[in-house]
Chains A and B, each alone.
Chain A
Amino acid sequence: EAGVAQSPRYKIIEKRQSVAFWCNPISGHATLYWYQQILGQGPKLLIQFQNNGVVDDSQLPKDRFSAERLKGVDSTLKIQPAKLEDSAVYLCASSLYRGGSYEQYFGPGTRLTVT
């Protein structure tokens, strides 16, 4: 079974530029999560999708961050414009949610450096 795929793995941009991250969850997983993990901290949930609907985006800075999940499968997370404090690893995770074990399967993450 293929795992959660993310790209790119690394990205360096200057502040005020824009960037997009892509995530392909495990096939059949209805729930998709995007997390921001700042060095030395735990993952902070940015947005959660159930199929292609948003369940929770209360911690997403909506003035600069946006996310979508087309057709309930792949998802993209965009930052525009980026700030220095956006430097972090962006993790995507998916799970079966109901009917499953609720375990989240994580991708390798995208390490973003904003200079």
Chain B
Amino acid sequence: AQTVTQSQPEMSVQEAETVTLSCTYDTSESDYYLFWYKQPPSRQMILVIRQEAYKQQNATENRFSVNFQKAAKSFSLKISDSQLGDAAMYFCAYLNTNAGKSTFGDGTTLTVKP
């Protein structure tokens, strides 16, 4: 079974600074996607960034980028120029593309200090 581990229950960052959230996963599959989702307090979960396992190039979306280390099964999220609106719970998720099965980590709560 696939597992996703987020070892940092809480992180904090100063506004305008950079923070990195960690995620490791375990799978025997070769074809999968990895995601970071953001869940603001009392608001809906939304996608932050997506990485296809077959792509070596790390995904980037504006201030958000990932460091995908396939051999190490590591998938960290870097948030640059942190903003107050980035404060939320961040979930790392794995999806097996053969069956579409999805597994989430337990999340990291990010606090942004003004």
Contact surface of A with B, Cβ cutoff 8 Å = 3, 31, 33, 35, 40-45, 48, 50, 55-56, 91, 93, 95, 97-98, 101-104, 106-109
A98 to B35, CA, bound (A): 16
- Is B99 interfacial (CB-CB < 8 Å)? yes
**Contact yes or no, A42 B105, CB < 8 A:** yes
Chain B's interface size range is: 20 to 34
A83 to B46, CA, bound (A): 30
Given contacts A102-B97, A103-B50, A106-B44, contact A42 B102 (CB under 8 A): no
**A interface footprint on B80-97 (CB within 8 Å = 1, 0 otherwise):** 000000000001010101
Majority DSSP secondary structure for residues of B touching A: strand
Contact surface of B with A, Cβ cutoff 8 Å = 4, 6, 33, 35, 37, 44-47, 50, 91, 93, 95, 97, 99-107
**Contact yes or no, B100 A55, CB < 8 A:** yes
**Contact yes or no, A101 B50, CB < 8 A:** yes
**Contact yes or no, A31 B91, CB < 8 A:** no
The residue that B35 contacts in the complex, of A40, A41, A103, A107, with Cβ under 8 A, is A103
Task: Report A-chain residues with C-beta under 8 Å of the C-beta of B101.
Answer: 45, 48, 55-56
**Contact yes or no, B107 A106, CB < 8 A:** no
The residue that B102 contacts in the complex, of A41, A101, A104, A109, with Cβ under 8 A, is A104
**Closest-CB distance, A85 to chain B (whole angstroms):** 17
Task: Report A-chain residues with C-beta under 8 Å of the C-beta of B105.
Answer: 42
**Contact yes or no, A48 B106, CB < 8 A:** no
The residue that B100 contacts in the complex, of A35, A44, A102, A108, with Cβ under 8 A, is A102
A40 to B105, CA, bound (A): 11
**Contact yes or no, A48 B107, CB < 8 A:** no
A107 to B101, CA, bound (A): 18
**Contact yes or no, B102 A103, CB < 8 A:** no
Considering the complex of A and B, which 3 residue pairs feature the smallest CB-CB distances, nearest first?
Answer: A42-B104, A106-B45, A42-B106
A97 to B33, CA, bound (A): 11
A-B contact pairs, 7 of them (CB 8 A): A31-B100, A48-B101, A93-B45, A102-B50, A102-B95, A104-B35, A104-B102
Task: Report A-chain residues with C-beta under 8 Å of the C-beta of B37.
Answer: 104, 106
Task: Report A-chain residues with C-beta under 8 Å of the C-beta of B4.
Answer: 42
